[in-house]
Amino acid sequence: MDAYRAIVTKRDTRSFTDQAVADDELRRVLQAGRMAGSAKNLQPCRFVVIDEPETKQKLAECGDFSAWIPTAPVCIAVVIPEDGRDFDAGRAAQNLMVAAHAEGLASCPVTMHHKECALDVLGIPEGHRVAIVVALGHPGEDPSSRGPAAARLPFDDYVRRNRW
């Protein structure tokens, strides 16, 4: 898929089929995340790939709006140091998700509001935190997961010139 098209057509959606994500697809997605730039090239992000049903079930309890996690064939937890930059996590996660979209996969970020829960479920040592979990899989048919996220404010509301 063309890069510009992939970027501007990517929507955060969370309706998935049961079809597994192929290893080569997943590897490209992860490679995309790995290659994201970071401040001072510190490379603060690590990715925990979660495909065990029982682990997904436990992880679903670590967020306020994450009960749907088990419906995703694969989740990728983006882990950073406790004092790491969420900006860099956002860069890596966007790479993961745009690359997934280019592979024909749907994806959606989900926040782990209960930090200790996520660290415990994934066996992550102290000094780290889960910046985000990216759920992905082949897109399902539920159109309700597509509409609202497509809405954007007008271009001219987004952009100013030289001064606010």
- Per CB under 8 A, contacts with a second copy among 1-30 are 1-12, 28, 30
Contact 46, 92 (CB under 8 A): no
User: CA dist 52 to 35, 104, 136, 143, 152, Å?
Assistant: 26, 22, 14, 27, 35
Among 16, 66, 72, 88, binds a second copy (CB under 8 A): 88
**Among residues 124, 134, 42, 40, which one has the least CA distance to residue 95?**
134
Among 21, 62, 105, 131, binds a second copy (CB under 8 A): 131
Q: Name the β-bridge partners of 132.
A: 78
Which position has the token pair 């590897």? 27
**Among residues 100, 93, 115, which one has the least CA distance to residue 44?**
93
Distance between CA atoms of residues 61 and 23, nearest Å: 27
- Minimal distance, residue 160 CB to a second copy, in Å: 5
Q: Pick out residues in 30-69 that bind a second copy (CB under 8 A).
A: 30-37, 39, 41, 43, 45-52, 55
Write the binding mask 135 to 164 for a second copy: x where contact by CB under 8 A, - elsewhere: -------------xx-xxx-x-xxxxxxxx
Number of residues interacting with a second copy: please give it, by CB under 8 A: 73
Contact 44, 88 (CB under 8 A): yes
Q: Is 115 in the site for a second copy (CB under 8 A)?
A: no
Contact range with a second copy by CB under 8 A, out of 14-22, 89-97, 137-145? 89-97
Contact range with a second copy by CB under 8 A, out of 14-22, 100-108, 137-145? 100-108
Q: Is 104 in the site for a second copy (CB under 8 A)?
A: no
Contact range with a second copy by CB under 8 A, out of 16-24, 81-89, 134-142? 81-89
Among 69, 79, 105, 136, binds a second copy (CB under 8 A): 79
Q: What angle do CA 62, 67, 73 make, to 5 degrees?
A: 100
